[in-house]
Chains A and B, each alone.
Chain A
Amino acid sequence: MRSVSMPSAAGSGLEPGFRGVICASFGVTGDTAGHDTGDRPRHDLRFVSANPEALADLRSVLGCSHVGVRLVLAGPPADIRAAAAAAAECGLLEEEMTLLCDEAGPRVVYCPHCRARTTVGAAGTEAECSGCATTLFIADHFSRRMGAYLGYSAHVEEAS
């Protein structure tokens, strides 16, 4: 398997049954270039964000990979957590993934009131839900399946 350094379309450039290391970078801060994969064959992917097309590409690459493959994800939490969730759905296990997280990047908060997911900045403990405009308190509780933090209506427990 040769190294692929150019951006790659879904599955192309990847021979079926790949068991090397897939390195996927997201956004401008995501960079897997410094990640040493040793002697193992390497397949590089670069995405602007974890949008549906990017996740479909990733699923396609994982779909033609075989057990033994490893995945390295680099970029903002919002993107790499979405990618990790998609990879897990494809059957990849946590110990087969390495997350290189840009903690300064945006993250995702889930609103249990309307079930919308909102991308918010790294700073702050509150955010406005993109679905129902509720002011959400961003809890520490994180769902790996959704790649999102739990939000809940802020200040509801305060006496008015």
Chain B
Amino acid sequence: MTTTALPISAHPAVEGGLQLEVTSVSVQTESIVSIILANPSGGTLPSYVPGSHLVVQYGDGVNAYSLTGSGNAPSEYAISVLRVEDGAGGSMAMHQLAVGDRVYVSRPRSAFAPVSTATHHLLVAAGIGITPVLSHARAAADRGTTSSLIYVYRPGAGAHVDEARELLGPALTECSNRTGFQEVLTEQLASQNLGTHLYVCGPGAFMDGVLGQARELGWPEARLHSEAFGAAELDEGEPFSVNLVRSGIKLEVPAGVSLLETLENAGKTIPNMCRKGICGECSLSVLRGAPQHRDLYLTDEEKAENTTMMCCVSRSEDPELELDL
């Protein structure tokens, strides 16, 4: 048992939650493991709405992971975790869990629920985005509603592929490249009966693309449902450089390392709190260049002004940004 797996006290985010035991750890892909959690004293766990997530404590931190089951009277909770080498440490801690370890978790939280009046669920997932969508597919099968899934993953890097195939049969379309995916997506968005709702989970840019295309094809907002990963699972992004005008120094931000971390490594103290693009604490003034906004704090209008950025998650559209630092 590792110290990260059994924290001394529960983090506020998991207070009032559950202490569960790891009953199985299985490798999905090179970088994704599935972890099964159960009540150490046996018995069923609280049911949850499909698409829900669990907040799991690791050491002093917490991370949210989608539950992959249908949610109906579960005897165990299953999550799948993508290892993010340069993340805050949550995914690395999850990957170190072993059978018998105990973890503090929140009760399941629903933020990506299926629409009860839908007669068909069109699910679109990229990469680790498969996790909540798999929950939807399972719940739909349980409840006798139909669902279909477009699943985009790199060859050899797809989690839960066998389960998706078994669950959905011909209703599963697997894509490994962008062109193929675009064709399938356009075809499916243009051929859905009126009871269909769309559910998307994947990297932000991927979801934006899918939702944008749906809107262009006449899908109203009420039919569109998406689950942001939060910063925990943001993609690595492209490398870029920052020019700190007042300090007179230039720094390189590599792929997979945040601007905030880069600045901290260079000895800068940047006020910050959530490091997930939610709290707005690490706001920086941008003098030149267009940030690639990946936070959930700034409004669309503020983002369009390109004068402020959240350095914990946001990166750059341009090769270089000039910052008022």
User: Are A and B co-members of a single complex?
Assistant: yes
Interface string of B296-325 (1 = CB under 8 A from A): 000000000000000000000000000000
Cβ contact within 8 Å between B190 and A62 = no
Residue numbers in B under 8 Å from A103 (CB-CB) = none
Residue numbers in B under 8 Å from A65 (CB-CB) = 194
Asked whether any CB of chain A lies closer than 8 Å to the CB of B192, the reply is yes
Asked whether any CB of chain B lies closer than 8 Å to the CB of A67, the reply is yes
Residue numbers in A under 8 Å from B190 (CB-CB) = 17, 19, 66, 68
Cβ contact within 8 Å between B192 and A66 = yes
- Complex: chain A residue closest to B119, CB-CB: A91
Asked whether any CB of chain A lies closer than 8 Å to the CB of B193, the reply is yes
Alpha-carbon separation in the docked complex, A19 to B221 (Å): 16
Asked whether any CB of chain B lies closer than 8 Å to the CB of A95, the reply is yes
Cβ contact within 8 Å between B218 and A70 = yes
Cβ contact within 8 Å between B222 and A69 = no
Residue numbers in A under 8 Å from B218 (CB-CB) = 19, 67-70
Interface string of B182-205 (1 = CB under 8 A from A): 000000011111111000000000
Alpha-carbon separation in the docked complex, A160 to B219 (Å): 57
* Total A-B residue contacts, Cβ distance less than 8 Å: 47
Cβ contact within 8 Å between B191 and A62 = no
Q: Would you give the shortest CB distance from A72 to chain B, in whole angstroms?
A: 14
Alpha-carbon separation in the docked complex, A78 to B221 (Å): 29
Asked whether any CB of chain A lies closer than 8 Å to the CB of B42, the reply is no
Interface string of B46-87 (1 = CB under 8 A from A): 000000000000000000000000000000000000000000
Q: Would you give the shortest CB distance from B40 to chain A, in whole angstroms?
A: 45
Q: Would you give the shortest CB distance from A66 to chain B, in whole angstroms?
A: 6
Asked whether any CB of chain A lies closer than 8 Å to the CB of B288, the reply is no
Residue numbers in A under 8 Å from B189 (CB-CB) = 67
Alpha-carbon separation in the docked complex, A91 to B195 (Å): 4
Asked whether any CB of chain A lies closer than 8 Å to the CB of B271, the reply is no
Asked whether any CB of chain B lies closer than 8 Å to the CB of A90, the reply is yes
Q: From residue 148 to 201 of chain B, which have CB atoms closer than 8 A to chain A?
A: 189-196
Number of A interface residues at 8 Å Cβ cutoff, please give it: 17
Partner of A91, one of B191, B196, B219, B221: B196
Cβ contact within 8 Å between A69 and B221 = no
Residue numbers in A under 8 Å from B193 (CB-CB) = 63, 66-67, 91
Residue numbers in A under 8 Å from B222 (CB-CB) = 93-95
Partner of A19, one of B117, B195, B217, B220: B217
Q: From residue 102 to 118 of chain A, which have CB atoms closer than 8 A to chain B?
A: none
Interface string of A61-101 (1 = CB under 8 A from B): 01101111110000000000000000000111111100000
- Complex: chain B residue closest to A62, CB-CB: B194
Residue numbers in B under 8 Å from A63 (CB-CB) = 193-194
- Complex: chain B residue closest to A71, CB-CB: B194
Alpha-carbon separation in the docked complex, A91 to B120 (Å): 10
Cβ contact within 8 Å between B217 and A91 = no
Residue numbers in A under 8 Å from B195 (CB-CB) = 90-91
Partner of A93, one of B191, B217, B220: B220
Given known contacts A19-B217, A69-B218, is B194 in contact with A92 (CB within 8 Å)?
yes
> Which of B189, B192, B193, B195 has most chain A Cβ within 10 Å?
B193
Q: Would you give the shortest CB distance from B160 to chain A, in whole angstroms?
A: 27
Alpha-carbon separation in the docked complex, A40 to B87 (Å): 47
Residue numbers in A under 8 Å from B219 (CB-CB) = 67-68
- Give 26 CB contacts A-B under 8 Å: A19-B190, A19-B217, A62-B194, A66-B192, A66-B194, A67-B189, A67-B192, A67-B193, A67-B194, A67-B219, A68-B190, A68-B217, A68-B219, A69-B194, A69-B218, A90-B194, A91-B117, A91-B194, A91-B195, A91-B196, A93-B220, A93-B223, A94-B222, A95-B221, A95-B222, A96-B220
- Give chain A's interface residues, CB within 8 Å of chain B: 17, 19, 62-63, 65-70, 90-96
Across the A-B interface, the 5 shortest Cβ-Cβ residue pairs:
A68-B218, A91-B195, A91-B194, A67-B192, A95-B220
